[in-house]
Structure 1
């Protein structure tokens, strides 16, 4: 492979009755001369995001390209942390985010992006860098995009919210889509393209003989303030097994 890939912030495929969790995958792709982010996560993950970059000896100013799958708060909320980056966005998504009312659109980030360097993708399958191309995967939003990577003899797809989790990839039925039929077609396209898929809110999934196989369990911990009772010693572990 001509790239190295690290997940900086891990996703979780759950919901809360209090608010949208917004725990999505943020991915760093490093090539010989590029540091590329796929999405930037929600503002709440900022400490983890910056710490993960630090552990890989990559500073925010060294990120030169950010591929934004779409412009919801949990996928572009940290755009302003990367002053030297150019942003890759679909032309359709930009128009949607700047003209339509969507409660999940990150208005603050969209305003910031208005004055930043942007590459607007208008052609499906447009090449980004060597071995990387953008494909249109609408449904969740009208201008959603996924990134296809050439990984030796495989195709890897980082899907954003075109596919949010393993259930959507398996059944091709989605939750929270503006157009269910578009979402179904996008998921079918991803399944027919990829050997391996990283959804917006789940772990890596491998497609084997038309079956979706999670590569690992997904786990998060929620800690209570010291002295409060609940969970095990004040810690709740949320686990999705393989």
Structure 2
């Protein structure tokens, strides 16, 4: 990839759940019921004349409904690092759970990239089962369906390069059509796992998050995440507060708001 300029990657924190515990974050629970909070992020990939956003988060009303601590809108967080949501042309949606696909009007010019399997899952027979519906919101799914009819969704079936040095990879597991994003950076290939692994501890220990579609696909997904990255340290989990500790702020004054993932970890 020597001819391609490396991308920069930013994680923007917009919400948190301070009440979660270890028993809630591992399939089968955990013998130690210790605090294990979650952070909620959207991600910005910038370089080579483009900016691509991964996931769109939820808004304040959804945070109240789901009892999550809302910090700031994802749009405000993006503006903090100089990104205008109105100018974004490509948004990758990792999956259609409520915390990854809200804020429907935030990117008015964008084309959305989604896996075939995820739309089929969120609109098919599996949603007849209440336990599988838990992380989905009907208005989120409906909003994405409207974008389909507006001609603003590009569907992918498996792995696909969407720009030079930037590709999506279907892993499934947590949700049937979940996709991760692989990015060429100054550190080599990095992988934004989104919910393919909520925490470093999930993939490092082979211990899935409790909410999933397939245990098999989740475990195989951990292996695939590491295969796609140049180094195991280059895989970024989707909800781990440790991300904010391991990486420097995107700019002075943005500590706890946005971190630069292509920088050397601490």
Equivalent residue for 1:53, pick from 71, 78, 90 = 78
Asked if the contact 1:26/1:41 (under 8 Å) is kept, the reply is yes
Structure 1 SS opposite 2:169: strand
**2:239 is equivalent to residue 201 of structure 1:** yes
Structure 1 SS opposite 2:122: helix
- Greater RCO structure (CA 8 Å; 6+ sep): 2
User: Residue deviations 1:77-105, cap 9 Å, x none?
Assistant: 22331111110000000111122321211
Q: 1:22 to 1:148 in 2, by over 3 A?
A: same
How many residue pairs were aligned? 210
Counterparts of 1:193 and 1:182 in 2: how far apart (Å)?
Answer: 16
What 5-or-longer segments of structure 2 have no aligned partner?
26-36, 61-69, 128-132, 249-254, 257-265
Q: 1:11 to 1:187 in 2, by over 3 A?
A: farther
Instruction: Quote the residue 2:146 is aligned against.
Output: 115
Q: 1:174 to 1:76 in 2, by over 3 A?
A: same
Instruction: Quote the residue 2:30 is aligned against.
Output: none
Q: 1:29 to 1:204 in 2, by over 3 A?
A: farther
Equivalent residue for 2:221, pick from 171, 177, 186 = 186
**2:88 is equivalent to residue 63 of structure 1:** yes
Asked if the contact 2:16/2:40 (under 8 Å) is kept, the reply is yes
Counterparts of 1:200 and 1:15 in 2: how far apart (Å)?
Answer: 17
Equivalent residue for 2:207, pick from 150, 157, 173 = 173
Alignment of 1:121-136 (within 5 A): 121-122=156-157, 124-136=158-170
What 5-or-longer segments of structure 1 have no aligned partner?
206-213, 221-241
> TM-score, normalized by length of structure 1?
0.76
Alignment of 1:3-152 (within 5 A): 3-9=7-13, 15-16=19-20, 23-44=39-60, 45=70, 47-99=72-124, 100-101=126-127, 102-116=133-147, 117-122=152-157, 124-152=158-186
Q: Greater strand percent: which structure?
A: 1
Q: Greater helix percent: which structure?
A: 2
Please report the RMSD computed on the Cα atoms of aligned residues, expressed in angstroms: 2.9
